[in-house]
Every structure is written in C-alpha cells, then in structure tokens.
Structure 1
Amino acid sequence: MKYFKQICLFLLAITFFSCSSDDESRPSEYEFVKEYSTTVTVGGFVGIAQRNFQIGEVYKGTKQGNGTISIRIAEHSELNDDCPNSWCYQELLDVPQEFLKSVE
C-alpha cells in the first residue's frame, strides 16, 4: 500500500510538472505604435496589395522567437483550405516587435 501511494504521488507530480505555461504561444492583442507598410497576398484577380497599418490598430497575435510577432490579418475560410491556389489569401503576417506593443 505504501508503494502504491508513492507511485500515485510520483505520477501526479509528473503530470503537474509536464504542464507548462507557454504564454508565448497564446494569442494576445497587440497594438501598432508606429505606422507599418507591407505587401500582402489578397488572392483572386488582385493578387497582392500594399497594406498600411495605422497607429492604434489592434490585432491578435503570438510572439515568435526571432524578434517578430505574428498577427492575424484575416480569418480562415474555406477558400484557404486547399492552398496554394489562385484564391488563397494571407491570414498571418510577421511584424517586427518594434512596431507593436502588447495590449493589457
């Protein structure tokens, strides 16, 4: 019985410590603090377009390890399920951290 309790306690400890709080991968909200301009894929006949992000615009995103934040600029739809094709559009954009700040 003593060994059974120790094994249960050991398994509980392993389960507890294997759960990590990986805040980096959780989507957070980020606000632009500087104007940012880039080319994005919009799909269809248009293809690509110049996109200007203004100060104060807020997007959901996740921090990347290379000094960038990946923000979601479009929601996923059925058009993007079978990519690449001519109707695919860009859903995520990597932006340098200096242009964004975390919204609390």
Structure 2
Amino acid sequence: MTICLQHYSKFTTTEEIDTAATLHASRHAKALTTSDSKVLDVIRHHAVDNGVAQLNYKTFQDETGKSNATVRRGIRKLVKLGIIKKVHFIQPVVMGLGANIYILLPFDES
C-alpha cells in the first residue's frame, strides 16, 4: 500500500522547498551542528518533489554516515527549531510502526 505524501506538503514548487530549507539553515546556522545539517540535507534531498519525505533511521544513518543516536538527536533539534515536523506513521495493513514522515516547514520571516 502506498501513502500519498502530497497531502502533507506545505509547498507547491521545488523552488519554494529549496528557499525554505536554505532560509531555515541560514537562520539557525549557529544552532545546527554539521550532523544536524546533514540530517536536514537528507530530508531536503528526499523531499524534493513535495517538501515531504518518508524515511527510516537506517536511511538517515547510511546517507549521513552518523550513528542512530546522532540522527535522532538531529531530528529532535530540527523539530524544536521549527524547521521540520515529524509525523509518526503506522502501517495500515499490519498496524505496526513504519518509516516516519518528515515535513519541511515554510520559513516564517517573523
């Protein structure tokens, strides 16, 4: 079964996604470690079509080269800073945990 991620999206174009991610990274440059930035880059890379990515921790680990604990810490920080929203996903067929959904949030200029 495939889930439609587009209904989670906050963006209509790839340019909006790139702009939001760049502005978030610039605003929080001092707060983000290199590992946090790599986690954001993975989300951004996988969310290129609609601003939403459905990823498991193994994918993050493989693509960042960081440990599970570092990836989880990075995700928590990105959520706390208002850069992303994390949605826990339950697989409808087996009612078990699936790969989480990560929503890149629009940049708030205030």
More strand per residue: 1
- What TM-score bracket applies, with the shorter chain setting the length? under 0.3
Q: Which has the larger radius of gyration?
A: 1
- Highest relative contact order (Cα 8 Å, sep 6+), 1 or 2? 2
TM-score by length of 2: 0.26
